[in-house]
Chain A
Amino acid sequence: MAKKKKKMPGLNTSSTADISFMLLIFFLITTSMDTDTGLIRRLPPPPDKNQEQAQIDVKERNILNIQVNAAGRARANREEIEINYNTLTAPALKEIAKRFILNEANDPNLPELQTVQTDNMKKVGMPPMNITVNHVISVQTDRGTPYWVYFLVQNELVAAYNELRDDFSKKNFKCEYQYLTEDQKAAVRDVLPQKISEAEPKDYRKN
C-alpha cells in the first residue's frame, strides 16, 4: 500500500521562456559581431644586450629600402615613388617590390638568387627553384610620418607578395593561393617568403 505511486507535481516551467528571453535580449545588446581586421606583423625580439653590436650583415643588393618622410613622400632605394592620394594606392611601389622580390632577369642590382628546395616544396613535388632567399624590404619612417601613409606602404607591399603568390599558384597549381591545400600553401610561402622588416627606429636617424 505504501508503494502506491505518489505523482510528483510537475514543475511549472511557463516562466523559463521569459527568463531566457531576458538573457537573450541582454546578449543581443552587448554583442558585437564585427571581427577585428588588420595587417598582422611579427616584430623582431629585442636586441640582446651582449650582441647589440653584432649586426646581421645584409648585402646592399638584398635590401629594398623604403623611406617615408614627414611630408608623406615615399622613396624606394632613393627613387621617388608616386602615391595616388585619391585611391590610396601606390602602383609604382608595388611594381618595384614585385620586381625586387622575383629578380627574374638575375639583375646584379637586385637580390641574389639561390637554388633552394625546402621540405615543404619536396612534399608537394616542386623542383628546386631560384629564390631571392635573403631579400629584405625595410620600411623606415620619420617620427612625423603620418600613420596612414605608412599603412598604405605596408598594404602595397603585402599586396605585392599576395599577387606574386597568386601568380605562382596559378602557374604551378592552376588555382589561386587561397584555394590551395595547407601543404601547397606552405610550399608557396617557402618560395615567396614575406620579409618586411620592422626597422628599428635608431637606424633611420643615422641616415
Chain B
Amino acid sequence: MGFKKKQSREMPEMNTSSLPDLIFTILFFFMMVTTMREVTLKVKFTVPQGTELEKLEHKSAVSFIYVGPPTDEYRGKYGGGTRIQLNDRYAEPPQVKDFIAQEREGMADQSKQTISIKADQKTQMGYITDIKEWLRKSYALKISYSASHRGK
C-alpha cells in the first residue's frame, strides 16, 4: 500500500505555453539594437582617447572610413604603411567620392549622413586632410573623429 502512494505523487507539468512569447520579446529587443558589421577590417587601428565625446546618433546614416596600417594578414603584401579602407578594400583618397555616393544611395535621410573617421592615433595628418578634402568635395560635411572615452 505504501508503494502505491508514491506513484500518485507525480510532478505537475509546468505550463510552457508563454515561453515562446518570452523568447520573442528578447528576440525583438536584440533585433532592434543589432547592427551588423558588413565589412571585415583590413587595417589595424587604435582610436585616440578623448573626454569631450558625443554619441553618434542615427546609426543607419553613419558610414565608416578606416585608416591605419594593414593587418598582419596583409602586411606582407602591402607593407606597413598607412592605408585607407573603404568598404572591403583598400582605397586612395579620391575614391572617397564614389564611396560617399554609393553610401548615399540606400540612405533614407541623406541630410543626416555622418562619416565616422576611425583612424589609428599614429596616423599622419596628411591622410586625414586628404580624406577631409574629398569629403568636402562630395558634400559629406558632417564628420566625426571616432575616439574612445578616457576618464577626466
CB distance from B67 to the nearest CB of A (A): 8
| A45 and B141 in contact, given A37-B54, A146-B122 (Cβ under 8 angstroms) | yes
Residue of B nearest to A43 (CB): B141
Name the CB-closest residue of B to A144.
Answer: B124
B30:A155 contact, CB within 8 angstroms: no
Q: Which of B3-11, B33-41, B73-81 participates in binding chain A?
A: B33-41
Cβ contacts B16-43/A at 8 Å (1 or 0 each):
1101100110110011011111000000
Docked-complex contact B20 and A155, CB < 8 angstroms: no
Interface residues of A, count at CB 8 A: 45
CA distance A92 to B31 in the complex (A): 47
Interface residues of A in 82-112 (CB under 8 A from B): 88
B148 CB–A CB distance under 8 Å: yes
Question: Complex Cα distance A23/B117, Å?
Answer: 32
Beta-carbon contacts under 8 Å, B108-141 to A = 114, 116-117, 119-126, 128-129, 132-133, 135-137, 139, 141
Whether B50 contacts A35 by the Cβ 8 Å rule is no
A148 x B128 contact (CB < 8 A): no
Question: Is A56 engaged at the interface, CB distance under 8 Å to the other chain?
Answer: no
CB pair A24 B52 closer than 8 Å: no
Most A CB contacts (10 A, CB to CB) among B55, B125, B126 go to B125
Main secondary structure of the interface of B (DSSP, over half): mixed
* A35-B142 contact, Cβ under 8 Å, with A27-B31, A142-B125, A151-B147: no
A residues 150-166 with Cβ under 8 Å of B? Answer: 150-152, 154-155, 158-159, 162
Q: Is the CB of B20 within 8 A of A24?
A: no
- In the complex, A32 Cα to B38 Cα: how many Å? 12
Q: Which residues of B contact A154 (CB under 8 A)?
A: 145
Give the interface centre of B31, B114, B129 by most chain A CB atoms within 10 Å: B129
Given A43-B135, A44-B136, A46-B136: A146 touches B31 (CB 8 Å cut-off): no
**Could you list which residues of chain B lie within 8 angstroms of chain A, going by C-beta atoms?**
16-17, 19-20, 23-24, 26-27, 30-31, 33-37, 47-56, 59, 62, 114, 116-117, 119-126, 128-129, 132-133, 135-137, 139, 141-150
Interface residues of A (CB under 8 A from B): 13, 16-17, 20-21, 23-24, 27-28, 30-33, 35-46, 68, 88, 141-148, 150-152, 154-155, 158-159, 162, 198, 201
Across the A-B interface, the 4 shortest Cβ-Cβ residue pairs: A143-B126, A148-B121, A27-B30, A38-B144
